[in-house]
Amino acid sequence: MTTYEKIQEDIKDAMWSKNNVKRDCLRSLVSEIKNQTINAGKELTDDIVIKCVQKSVKQHNDSIEQFKTAKRDDLALKEMEEKTYIEAYLPKMLDEDETRKVIDNILQTVEPLKKNMGTIMKLLPKEVDRGMASRILKEVLK
């Protein structure tokens, strides 16, 4: 079962359990996935789905920050709830030690210079948190 099919099944389950927040959140995610697929002009793949999920999680994080600074805790809680539903579709991310090992392996094939940071980031597998990898690379590539 692909990630997209899993999302579709979870929408049905949310409908049956009358979980409107989850249902609406996942419908919005499906809409974004369909838009990205149409815009890319490609077939639906798990990579497109994962990129859309990552984008949605990032948007929810930004919204949570903004709501907290505006002292709108009720809206921040709603965003956090939606984010937990969406995060379930992300692949398991590597922890910091595993990320360092992956970066060390890549640095054996690519010259460890700051100007090669973009190349190194492109070689990282999708299970690596990009923010953490960027921070580690900045430490290593001084």
Q: Return all residues near 98 (Cβ < 8 A) that are at least 6 apart.
A: none
pLDDT, tens only, 99-110: 889 888 888 888
Give the pLDDT score at 119: 86
57 burial class (0-12, 13-18, 19+ CB within 10 angstroms)?
middle
Residue 80's pLDDT is what? 94
Looking at residue 34, what is its pLDDT? 92
pLDDT band at 2 (very low <50, low <70, confident <90, very high): confident
Question: How far is Cα 87 from Cα 48, in angstroms, rounded to an integer?
Answer: 15
DSSP state of 116: G
**How high is the pLDDT of residue 123?**
86
Q: What is the per-residue pLDDT across 104-137, written as a single tens digit (0 to 9) for each? A: 888 888 887 888 888 888 888 878 888 888 888 8
Closest CA to 123 of 98, 101, 103: 103
Tell me: pLDDT of 84 over 90: yes
pLDDT of residue 6: 93
Q: Which two tokens mark 87? A: 């995060």
- Joined tokens for residue 7: 């999302």
Rg of the chain on CA atoms, in Å: 18
Of the pLDDT bands very low, low, confident and very high (cuts 50, 70, 90), residue 78 is: very high
